[in-house]
Amino acid sequence: MAKYKVEIDRETCIGCQACASDAAGTFEMDDDDIAIVVNQEGDPPETILAAAEACPSESIILHDADTGEKVYPAG
């Protein structure tokens, strides 16, 4: 079962590809060089979190898969 529900804010994604590089099982870049989620459970949860933390524009939003509570980014 997934630890996170992973979302991408397409409006703020700058296409740096850090997420796709760090967690290639979860993220890919689309034809517009915007990140997309290809598999919610494509990488271990700690790898998905690290990829989210590596995103310079904080465009990766993680929610607890069980509660729906926002986990990352804070605030």
Q: Which residues of 45-70 are buried (b: 16+ CB within 10 A; e: fewer)?
A: eeebbebbeebeeebbbbeebeeeee
pLDDT number for residue 67: 96
| Three-state helix/strand/coil letters over 26-57 | CEEECCCCCEEECCCCCCCHHHHHHHHHHCCC
Threshold 0.75, pTM exceeds: yes
Q: Is 4-72 a CATH 3.30.70.20 domain? A: yes
In the chain, what are the domain boundaries?
4-72
pLDDT number for residue 48: 98
Euclidean distance between CA atoms 31 and 45, whole angstroms: 26
pLDDT digits (tens, 9 = 90+) for 7-51: 999 999 999 999 999 999 999 999 999 999 999 999 999 999 999
